[in-house]
Structure 1
Amino acid sequence: MSTQPPQPALNLRPGSTDAVRLGVLVPLSRPGWAEAGRHLLTGLELAAHEVDAAGGIDGRPLELLVRDTAADPRRATAAVDELAALGAVALAGEYHSVVARAAANRAEALGLPFLCSSAVLNALTDGPADGVARLAPAQSHGWRLYADFLLDAGHRRIAVATEPSVYWATGARLLRDRLAPHGGGVTELDLRTLAPADVCDALAADGATALLLLAGHPDPVVPVVRAVRRDPRLTGLLLGAPAGQPEFAGWHALLGEDGAAVPFLRYLPERLGPLGTRVAADLRARLGSEPSFVAFEGHDTVTVLAEVLRSHGTERERIAAAWPHVTVEGTRGPIRFTRAPGTHVHQWTWPPVQIADRDPAEPGRFRILRTSG
Structure 2
Amino acid sequence: MADHSLFMQAALREASKGRGYTSPNPAVGAVLVANGKIVATGYHERAGAPHAEVECLKSHSGSVPADATLYVTLEPCSTIGRTPACTEAIIRSGVRNVVVGATDPNPPHRGRGIRLLRAAGLTVHTGILTEECTALNEAFNYWVQTKRPFVIAKCGMTLDGRLTRAPREKQWITSVAARRHANLLRAQVDAILIGAGTLRLDNPRLTIRSARGAPQPWRVVLSRSGRVPENAHLFSDKFAHRTLLFRDHGLADVLKSLGEREVTSVLIEGGGNVLGQALDQKLIHRVHIYFAPLMSGGPVVAFSGKGASNTSDGVRLCDPQYEQIGRDIFLSAKTLYRHGSSEQHGETYRLESGSMDTQQELNK
TM-score tier by shorter-chain length is 0.3 to 0.5
More strand by share: 2
Q: Name which structure has the greater RCO, CA cutoff 8 Å, separation 6+.
A: 1
Larger Rg, first or second structure (1 or 2): 2
Query: What is the TM-score when the length of structure 2 is the normalising length?
Result: 0.34
